[in-house]
Amino acid sequence: MMNYMVEQINNLPDLLNQIFHPLDEKIRSKFDGDLCLRLERLFVVGCGDSHNAALGSELSFESLTGIATEPMNSMTFARYVAGFVPKTDLKTNLVLGISVSGAVARTIEALKMSTQAGIATVAITTNPDSSLAKAAQVLLDVPVPQNPKHEGMAIPGIHSYFINQIALALIAVRMAEVRGELNDTEAENIRTEILNLALKIEQTIEECDPIVKQAVLEFKKSKEYVFVGSGPNFATALFSAAKVLEASGDSALGQDVEEWAHLQYFAREIETPTIIISAGERDLSRVEEVGAAAKKIGRSLAVISPKSASGLNKLADFHFPVPHVKEMFSPIITAIPGELFAAYRAELIDEPYFRGFSGGRSIEEGGGISRIRTSEIWKNWKP
């Protein structure tokens, strides 16, 4: 039986080569001086995987552009932030709203509340005719190529998350270029670096696949999995936990490295598999301490990290090696072992993705309870 998640993961290098240049050209045409030069504050908003992509992009935007960047859940931004952003006529504030379908009510609401607050808006979506696209001042149409074999299937998002990650990285490069933070040569070098991630993704899949399979078998009896990361890889932790929940239905948690030390350190269950994700840079000294603490109290420990993070890696029961890349781009690579883990866990226990949308769930609207596309959208921001 085909494991459709693994099939999508294996296709990531080809996907990057396929979408890179058309996507980069679109971004260059949309993000011009009028949109970028006067920016002082950037908000990147979305829900679910789109929110995780936003979280993972913060370091890229701040490192490359120098713009204060706040990734945020769409509802938090729409109902608790937008109305408090100081109004200006100088285009100093911008919101990037991400939704693959363009139909997520909370993200549509975030862009509408932004417009009311005098904030410039960009929609990042695969659907140029969507409500999100119509709510934005600028549309970035980011198509996700579809495999005809998967038509009508509900598969946990691999390609859409990956493409959003690439799009946000290229937007950061373009903004930095327009603002003069990068000269033409520097910008092109970074773009080439992003494109060359295809080879590193291929390497990651090849090296991690057999180790992940072994770990899934070792952790077969576990009912909960904890993914831990910091900085941009906190996003990887959240995303990896989401894929486990979607694929196998097991309880899974994404946690910040420092917060793990304050919270999960005291959990009663001794052997809970704990997967630490590290770029081997700013986070390294702290993840080594947390990894040692996890082992000391009896946790089963896996580590997603470069081979250079030797002090951390030697603590692990399983090391899922990833190539060393700039920390700002590391979530593009570090998400892969967690995706493989979720895919093989679901296969092992023969669990349908998304519980087959049974038990009162609905593929359209969560059985009428977890409304995503038909939830109320505020018409006016309320102080």
Domain residue spans in the chain? 4-195, 208-355
CA 214 to chain centre: 25
Q: Is residue 308 a contact partner of residue 324, using CB atoms and an 8 Å limit?
A: yes
* Integer Cα distance of 319 and 180 in angstroms: 40
Structure tokens at 244: 């486990």
| C-alpha dist (Å) from residue 222 to 251, 269, 303, 314 | 10, 10, 17, 23
Task: Give the pLDDT confidence of 125-157 residue by residue, as tens digits.
Answer: 999 999 999 999 999 999 888 776 776 778 899
Q: Using a pLDDT cut of 70, give the percent of the chain over it.
A: 97
Which pLDDT score, from 0 to 100, does residue 304 have? 98
Mean pLDDT of 182-202: 98
Which pLDDT score, from 0 to 100, does residue 148 have? 64
* Integer Cα distance of 204 and 209 in angstroms: 8
Q: Under 8 Å CB-to-CB from 169, ≥6 apart: which residues?
A: 57, 60, 194, 328, 329, 332
**Among the listed residues 374, 292, 333, 302, the one whose alpha carbon sits nearest the alpha carbon of residue 169:** 333
* Integer Cα distance of 13 and 199 in angstroms: 7
Strand partners, 195: none
Q: What are phi and psi of 318, to 5 degrees?
A: -140, 130
**48 phi-psi bin (left φ>0, alpha ψ -120 to 50, beta other):** left
Task: Give the pLDDT confidence of 57-70 residue by residue, as tens digits.
Answer: 999 999 999 999 99
Structure tokens at 339: 């995706």
| Sheet (strand 301-305) strand order | 251-256, 224-229, 274-277, 301-305, 318-321
Helix 12-30 vs helix 184-195: angle between axes, to the nearest 10 degrees?
Answer: 150
Domain 208-355 has CATH 3.40.50.720: no
Q: What are phi and psi of 371, to 5 degrees?
A: -70, 130
| Strands 251-256 vs 68-73: parallel, antiparallel or unpaired | unpaired
pTM, two decimals, is 0.96
Helix (H) or strand (E) holding 105: helix 105-116
Structure tokens at 161: 């998350």
* Integer Cα distance of 143 and 293 in angstroms: 44
Which pLDDT score, from 0 to 100, does residue 179 have? 98
Which pLDDT score, from 0 to 100, does residue 120 have? 95
Structure tokens at 232: 């941009």
Top-level class of domain 4-195: alpha beta
Q: Is residue 377 a contact partner of residue 109, using CB atoms and an 8 Å limit?
A: yes
Which pLDDT score, from 0 to 100, does residue 25 have? 97
Task: Give the pLDDT confidence of 1-38 residue by residue, as tens digits.
Answer: 689 999 999 999 999 999 999 999 999 999 999 999 99
Does 220 have pLDDT greater than 80?
A: yes
